[in-house]
Structure 1
Amino acid sequence: MPTNSSFKAEAINKHIVNWLRTYAENAKVKGFVVGISGGIDSALTSTLCAQTGFPTLCVEMPIHQAESHVSRGREHIKYLCGKFDNVSSVEADLTPVFEGFKKQVPETENPHLLALTLANTRARLRMTTLYYFAGIHSALVAGTGNKVEDFGVGFFTKYGDGGVDLSPIADLMKSEVRELAKYLGITNTILTAKPTDGLFGDDRSDEDQLGASYDELEWAMLELEKGKTHNDFSGREKEVFEIYKRLNIINQHKMNPIPVCEIPMNLK
Structure 2
Amino acid sequence: MAKKSTIQTEKVNTHIVEWLKNYANNAKVNGFVIGISGGVDSAVTSTLCAQTGFKVLCVEMPIHQAESHVTRAKEHIEQLKQRFPNVSSIETDLTAAFGAFKDTMPVTTDEPKMHLSLANTRARLRMTSLYYLAGIHGLLVAGTGNKVEDFGVGFYTKYGDGGVDLSPIADLMKSDVYALGAFLEVPESILTAAPTDGLFGDHRTDEEQLGASYDELEWAMLASESGNTASDYKEREKTVFEIYKRLNTNNKHKMEPIPVCLIPKTLK
TM-score, normalisation: structure 1: 0.99
Q: 1:47-86, aligned counterparts within 5 Å?
A: 47-86=47-86
What is the aligned partner in structure 2 of residue 3 from structure 1?
A: 4
CA distance in 1, matches of 2:4, 2:109: 46
Q: Which runs of 5+ in 2 are unaligned?
A: none
Q: 1:126-145, aligned counterparts within 5 Å?
A: 126-145=126-145
What is the aligned partner in structure 2 of residue 119 from structure 1?
A: 119
What is the aligned partner in structure 1 of residue 266 from structure 2?
A: 266
Q: CA deviation at 1:2?
A: 4.2
What is the aligned partner in structure 2 of residue 225 from structure 1?
A: 225
What is the aligned partner in structure 2 of residue 165 from structure 1?
A: 165
Q: Deviation per CA, 1:32-71: give whole Å up to 9, x if none.
A: 0000000000000000000000000000000000000000
Are positions 1:37 and 2:15 aligned together? no
CA distance in 1, matches of 2:237, 2:81: 43
What is the aligned partner in structure 1 of residue 94 from structure 2?
A: 94
CA distance in 2, matches of 1:19, 1:152: 23
What is the aligned partner in structure 1 of residue 107 from structure 2?
A: 107
CA distance in 1, matches of 2:108, 2:53: 48
Q: Which amino acid aligns with 1:12?
A: V
CA distance in 2, matches of 1:236, 1:146: 24
CA distance in 2, matches of 1:212, 1:178: 18
Q: Which runs of 5+ in 1 are unaligned?
A: none
Question: 4+ residue runs of structure 1 moved beyond 3 angstroms?
Answer: none
Q: Sequence identity, in percent?
A: 68
What is the aligned partner in structure 1 of residue 46 from structure 2?
A: 46
TM-score, normalisation: structure 2: 0.99
What is the aligned partner in structure 2 of residue 147 from structure 1?
A: 147
CA distance in 2, matches of 1:245, 1:69: 30
Q: Deviation per CA, 1:196-240: give whole Å up to 9, x if none.
A: 000001100000000000000000000001000000000000000
CA distance in 1, matches of 2:123, 2:73: 17
CA distance in 2, matches of 1:2, 1:34: 28
Q: Which amino acid aligns with 2:259?
A: P
Contact 2:3 2:219 (C-alpha < 8 Å) held by counterparts: no
Count, aligned residues: 267
CA distance in 1, matches of 2:265, 2:167: 36
Q: Which amino acid aligns with 1:87?
A: V
Q: CA deviation at 1:3?
A: 2.5
Are positions 1:15 and 2:18 aligned together? no
3-state DSSP of counterpart to 2:58: strand
* RMSD between superposed Cα atoms in Å: 0.7
CA distance in 2, matches of 1:11, 1:198: 32
